[in-house]
Structure 1
C-alpha cells in the first residue's frame, strides 16, 4: 500500500538554500573561489550599476536563461503553479561554487533581488522573485558518502539524497516529499519521518560551504564561524548566504516498518486526545503523524514509521489504539527497507527511484501541485480537543497534518541551534489543495483560530507572508541572536525580503 503525497506533504520552506549578502570585503569580488573563516569586513557600498547579463553568461560554467531565451518559461517554474506569473530577470543554473560567487557579485553590484532555489517549494514564492535573479542549484546535486559522512550538493532533492545514502547503507533524518531540496529543508530545521529517533536534519549537520555576500566561499562549522553555523541550523532560508554543499553525520540505514491507522467518522476529538498523550511517552523508534481532514464530520488517521520490525511495532500500536479509546476501521503495518520506506512516504512506492523525480524540470513522473498552506506548532497538549474538531467541521478539502517532533529532537536545547521548537509535541501543517482566494481565507482562519488553541508558534519551512509577529513565531527566543548574525553577514540588507530575519 502507499499513501498520497498530499497526506504526507512536508515541503521545505524556501525550497532553496539561504541567500544574503554582506558588504564587500577586500579581495572578495572578481577573485577565484576561495575558502575562509574570517568575518566579513564592512565597507561603503558603491552605487548600483545595471546588471550585465552578457558578462555573467560568459563567466558561468552553468547556464543563464533570460526572458528572451528559449526555455525561460520552464526554467523559472517553482513547485506551486501559484507563482507562474512571477517574472524573474534571469535564471542561473549554476554548476559549481564559482558560478554562485559570480551571481552574488552581480546581485551585490546591481542591487537586484537574488534567491537560491534547491527544490522550489517555498510557500510564498520567495525563491521566484519578480525582476530578480534565481540561482538554481539543481545542477549541484552530488551525494558522496565516506566513513559515515555525507557531503551533499545544495541542489539535491530528497529522493536523490535517500538513494545515494541507501546505496552506501546509510540514512539521514529528513522530510517525506521527494522533490523538496535538501537546502531549504536543512536551513529551516528539517522535520521528518526519522525525527524522533535521529533528530532534525539540521542536527546532523557537521559543516557547510557557503558563499557570503562578499563573494567568498566559506566553510563553516562548530569551530569556524560558529555563529553562522548556529544560524544555518534552523534559521531559515534567505538570510545568511548561498550554501553550496552540506556535510552530515549519517546513521546506519535501519530496517523500518510503516503503518497506518484509519479511524471512524466522528472520532477525531477522542483520537487526538489519546494520540497527543501517547506520543509524549512513546519510544524514540516510533515516529507518528496524525492527519485531520475537514468535513461533516472531520475524519482522521495516524501514520508513521518505526525503526525496527513489525512484530515489535504492533504492540506499540495496540497501546496507541488503547490510548485513543477508538478502534480503527483499517490498520496495517508493513516492513520496508530504508529506501523503500522513503519512497512509500513520498508516494513513490510503485515507481522506480529515477521516476520519483520532477516531471516539470527533470525526467521523472511527479507533477506540480497547486495549494495554499501555513503552519502552527503544538507546543503542549490541547486541553479541549473538541474545539479542534469544531474548527475542522465543514472544511472539505482541508488537511491539518500533525508531525511529532519529540524524542531525539527534543533533547537538543532550545538555543543550541536556531530551531526553537524543542520540546513541542508537533508541527501543524494546514493545507488546502487550491490557490483560490477562498482557500487562502479558509487557511488563514484555521491558522489564527488554531493559534488561540495551541500557541502562536510557526515552522519557518512552511513560511507564511500573512502570519502575525512572524519573527517570534518562527524563531522564538533565538530571534535576537539571528538578527545579529544577519547584520554581520548582510549589513546592507542586500538580500532583504518580506520576512528576512533583519526585518523581524
Structure 2
C-alpha cells in the first residue's frame, strides 16, 4: 500500500489506545540523460506548447510554479522541473510529447505524485500532470471508467455511491495510476485480487504520440505489462477501465499488543494469515524500539461475527492478550476512510491541503522486500527492529485471490508470496542520510532472513539487483515491451524497465 504511513499508524494507534508512478537520496537525483545520439539537443519549444495549453503550462517564472512542481515526499523538493503541463485530455498529452520528445529532457507523467523517489517530477524535465483528468464513471454493468489523475478517495467515494468497490491502497491521496501500474496492494486484495487484476482496458499515449487502447484483444502485450510493470515505463495512461464488484459490509479491526511481544505475535501471525479465508486481510505492523511493539490491523469482508472467531484464533496462537482490541463494522467507504486515518473527516477533507483537504505532505524514507512462501524467523525480525526508534516495519498480507494467478499471468510476479514488507521512517533533509542507512540495514536484514523480492511501487534507488527484485522472471518480457513501445527511451529514468 503506497500510503501516508505515518498518519495511518498514528491514527490507528490512537484509536487502539482509546478502545497508517517512485533509495537514492532525493537531492542526488538529476535529470536522467537521453541515450547518447552524439549531438546536443535544442530546448523544447515551450511557446508552442503554451499556445496549446495556455496557463495550464506552468513554467518556473509563472505564478503557481512553486506548488505545481511539488510531489508528495518533501525530501524531493529540490527537484526543479523545466515545465509542468496540466493536461485535461489525451490530446493534451500527445501535444506535450510532440513538443518535448527528442530534446534530451526527461519526460514523466504524474498522477498522485506519491512516487517515493520523485521520478514523476524530474529535474529539468517535463511533468505531464494528469490531476485534472480525474473523472470516475460507473456503467450499469459495474465497469468503472476512471481518469488517470483520480486519487483513491475520489475513486472510493464514487464507487461507494454506486454500491461498488475496487480493491486498492489505503492512502486517500495516492493516485489510481501509479497504484494500478505497479500492481496495487490493498486491504481487500485477498478477497478481490490486486488493483491491476481488475483492469480490463487502458488508453495509453505512447512515446510517438499514438493513442492506443490496451486490452486482452488489442495491444495484449502492452496490456500485460501495464498490470504490474510499474508506472512510467511504456507510455502515459490517460484512462482506466476496471471490473468492480458489489460492495458488501466490511469489518475493520486493530489489535494492539504489549511491547515486547513481537516475536510471539509475528510467529503466530504468519501461519494464521497464510491459512485465513480469502475474506480476511491483515497487516502486522512492527514499531522499532526497546523493545519493539506491534499491532495487527486489518479488514474482513463480512460482519464482526465472522471476524471475531478468526481474531480469537490469532490471540490464542500468540499466547499474548492484546492491550486493546477494536472490531468495528463499516460500509465500504467508511472502511476505506478508517484505513486512511481520516474516518472522522468528510471526503473533501481526505484530500491534500493544497486541494482544500487536511492531509499534509510528508518527508520520509521507505524501502521494501517481499516475503517468499515461507515465513520469516520471528526472532530475527524482532532483532532487526530492536532499538530502531522512529522506524516501522509493515507486513501486508498477500495470498488468497492474489495467488490464484500464475507469476507470469500479469507483470506482477509475487503471486506465491506470503506478504510484502515495507520499512518506513520519517525524515528531513538533515536526517535523511542517517535514516536511509537505518532502513537499508533493515531491508538487507530481511533479505538475509529470506525476503528477497521487492515491490516496485515502493521504489528504492539503492536496492541490489532491483530489476529482478521487482519483476522476477517477467523482466525480459517487460524489457521487450518497453523497447517496442518506447525504442528511443523517451520515458527513461534511473529505474525504468529499459534500464534494468
Taking structure 1 as the reference length, what is the TM-score of the superposition?
0.91
Task: Map 1:192-207 to 2 at 5 A.
Answer: 192-207=186-201
Q: Which moved more, 1:316-325 or 1:345-354?
A: 316-325
Which of 459, 469, 473 in structure 2 is aligned with 1:477?
A: 473
What residue is the counterpart of 2:310 in the other structure? 316
What residue is the counterpart of 1:394 in the other structure? 387
Q: Which moved more, 1:418-427 or 1:383-392?
A: 383-392
Q: Is the 8 A contact 2:106 2:126 kept in 1?
A: yes
User: Equivalent residue of 2:417, what SS?
Assistant: coil
Distance 1:256 1:414 in 2: 29
Report the CA distance between 1:46 and its aligned residue: 10
Distance 1:164 1:61 in 2: 30
What residue is the counterpart of 1:491 in the other structure? 487
Equivalent pairs counted in the alignment come to: 474
Report the CA distance between 1:393 and its aligned residue: 0.3
- Give ranges in structure 2 of 5+ residues lacking alignment: 12-19, 24-31
Distance 2:352 2:439 in 1: 27
Distance 1:137 1:45 in 2: 33
Distance 2:401 2:267 in 1: 23
What residue is the counterpart of 2:136 in the other structure? 143
What residue is the counterpart of 1:36 in the other structure? none
Give the direction of change, closer, same or farther, for the CA distance of 1:115–1:68 in structure 2 (3 Å limit): same
Q: For residues 123-154 of structure 1, give each alpha carbon's deviation from its aligned partner in whole angstroms, at most 9, with x where no partner exists.
A: 11101100000011000000000120000000
What residue is the counterpart of 1:242 in the other structure? 236
Taking structure 2 as the reference length, what is the TM-score of the superposition?
0.92
CA RMSD of aligned residues (A): 2.1
Greater fraction of residues in helix: 2
Q: Is 1:343 matched with 2:337?
A: yes
Q: Is 1:364 matched with 2:368?
A: no
Distance 2:39 2:137 in 1: 40
Q: Is the 8 A contact 1:375 1:447 kept in 2?
A: yes
Report the CA distance between 1:62 and its aligned residue: 7.0
What residue is the counterpart of 2:151 in the other structure? 157
Report the CA distance between 1:45 and its aligned residue: 12
Q: Is 1:7 matched with 2:1?
A: no
Which of 78, 92, 102 in structure 2 is aligned with 1:99?
A: 92
Q: Is the 8 A contact 1:373 1:429 kept in 2?
A: yes
Q: Is the 8 A contact 1:206 1:248 kept in 2?
A: yes
Q: Is the 8 A contact 2:255 2:296 kept in 1?
A: yes
Q: Which moved more, 1:331-340 or 1:58-67?
A: 58-67
User: Equivalent residue of 1:95, what SS?
Assistant: coil
Q: Is 1:410 matched with 2:403?
A: yes
Q: Is the 8 A contact 2:22 2:120 kept in 1?
A: no
Q: Is the 8 A contact 2:467 2:497 kept in 1?
A: yes
Task: Map 1:422-437 to 2 at 5 A.
Answer: 422-435=415-428, 436=431, 437=433
Which of 404, 414, 417 in structure 2 is aligned with 1:421?
A: 414
What residue is the counterpart of 2:284 in the other structure? 290
Task: Map 1:32-431 to 2 at 5 A.
Answer: 48-60=41-53, 63-146=56-139, 147-360=141-354, 362-431=355-424
Give the direction of change, closer, same or farther, for the CA distance of 1:45–1:173 in structure 2 (3 Å limit): farther
Q: Is the 8 A contact 2:413 2:473 kept in 1?
A: yes
Which of 452, 459, 462 in structure 2 is aligned with 1:463?
A: 459
Find runs of 4+ consecutive structure 1 residues off by over 6 angstroms: 44-47
Q: Is the 8 A contact 2:21 2:120 kept in 1?
A: no
User: Equivalent residue of 1:257, what SS?
Assistant: strand
Q: For residues 204-225 of structure 1, give each alpha carbon's deviation from its aligned partner in whole angstroms, at most 9, with x where no partner exists.
A: 0000000001101111101001
Distance 2:315 2:499 in 1: 46
Q: Is the 8 A contact 1:12 1:190 kept in 2?
A: no
Which of 445, 456, 475 in structure 2 is aligned with 1:449?
A: 445
User: Equivalent residue of 2:350, what SS?
Assistant: coil
Give the direction of change, closer, same or farther, for the CA distance of 1:282–1:423 in structure 2 (3 Å limit): same
Report the CA distance between 1:60 and its aligned residue: 2.3
- Give ranges in structure 1 of 5+ residues lacking alignment: 15-19, 24-43
Report the CA distance between 1:107 and its aligned residue: 2.1
